[in-house]
Structure 1
Amino acid sequence: MRSTCSDFWPAVAAVLLLAGCASGPAPAPAGPDHSSRYTITQDRAPSGNFDVSGLSDAVPVYQAPARAGNKSPYTVWGKHYTVMGSNDGYVARGTASWYGEKFHGHKTSNGETFDMYQMSAAHKSMRIPGYARVTNLDNGQSVIVRVNDRGPFHGDRLIDLSYAAAKKLGYQSRGTARVEVAAITVKPDGSMFLAGQPLVLEGRPEKQPAQRTVAVNDGAGGGLFVQLGSFSTRDPAEKMQSRAMNILGSSSGNNPVRVRAVDTGSGRFHRVQVGPFQDEGSARTMQSRLEAEGFRQSIVLTDSD
């Protein structure tokens, strides 16, 4: 079953849903909903006060291109739309609306289930699934959403956000906002781009190289470190350092946990490392212990003081 915002609706549903994906408090056509897909006739916000203060942005990851939801061209209400061949470099400004309870629990254009409490969005031409940073131009607030649906198909609306995403941007009560939408693309190697420019998300680990066996100098001055993570800001690095220190306790002995700031071509990174170790066997033993404690992205490397 396709999304409420796709070009595969039956004609009667298209007439009844002239508003396209819901646009917040904007009223839907009067009368009963004969599409049999929805239990309410007019979209609305959920009851109660949904707290979004602790809701995290969508996390961009690489996904191979899929056919679901990317038919191109497609037609809705007599108007033709084309899906972009790639989201690379896409950035645009326009009006954002939102959709919520009426569509909650129904299928999106790529077959996923719409959840108004998650950070998702509908777009007419971006390839799906994809990711975008959406910025409210009136207050400067930004969120990252997963684009997995088609729409909105009325007026000059640029994007439809989930209720939760709209609330995080502060426009859920008004229904619409002026926004900038910038596509985030992720390559198979994990490298990330925002509107075509290299991107490292704040607090996101630096892309780790493939783990490999390292050579150890025979001299007593040589040393190895078990690197637990690398971050673009210091705060998450220090939190990881504290966590590792609590786990190791006094047993860390001569192998303390440090945060080392390193300047690279992609900016400054804060690397959380345990060491030094004088031989690879000791480093691997510590790595295995830490992986058992949840540090599953660790690597062993040489990293001079």
Structure 2
Amino acid sequence: MKFISQILMLFSLTFFGCSTPYDQVHIPQPEPSIYKPGTLPPSGKKKPATQNPYKIKGIQYTPIASSKGFVQTGIASWYGKKFHGRKTSNGEIYSMYAMTAAHKTLPMNTWVRVHNLKNKREIVVRINDRGPFITGRIIDLSHTGASRIGIIGAGTGKVRVTALGRAVSYSKKTKTPTDFIPVDYWKGNFTVQIGAFQVKANAKEYRYKLSKHYQNAHIAVFTDSRGTFYRVRIGQFTNLKDAVRYSEKLIAQGISTAFAVAE
């Protein structure tokens, strides 16, 4: 417990003057994502999507680990020119002409079928952003997507959203996805994040202290509009459940900032 107290003291000093540690209250910002064939960013790097809980206007949202079997009925809206060219939550550039959408909790890069329950029109779009954060609305479509199911004029429409999963093959002619598998974050590479620093030296010192008592203590570097962050993580797991259990164990030991993340 003496070691844990020292760690917590160091962590508190590092964030002196902040009401909450970085990454604990997460407002959607450009975050890494899993890019699949046909959706690679210019750098060509493949990175895991953000699955961290985040808070908007006092309400906390927790992204679900798997899209398998997901069906939701509610109101769809759309966003267009005002956001065109801005970064989405997974780091891509939003295009009002692309077949994409925003959802509050589905894993990033999940393809979904959106069925307009009034006129029976359907579209297939990919989730690359978070939202909408207006009561009663379940999905924000791009301008093109909204136009194709006929809700541009009204602004909203009642729809059914059915998750298809991650695209595994595409049409050679239209470049649209043809086959899918469920996005599942219960399996993969996971670890537990317990600190985020903007001063690299502090992150390195924290990692060194942790390495004496925990396996796989390492630093993950992340940069967004707020700057560069050095995220200190420990542990290595092949499924999310084990990572969550480990984070809960650390919290019980006094490291309240621990939470499971995909790598």
TM-score calculated relative to the size of structure 1: 0.42
Rg larger for: 1
Structure with the larger strand share = 2
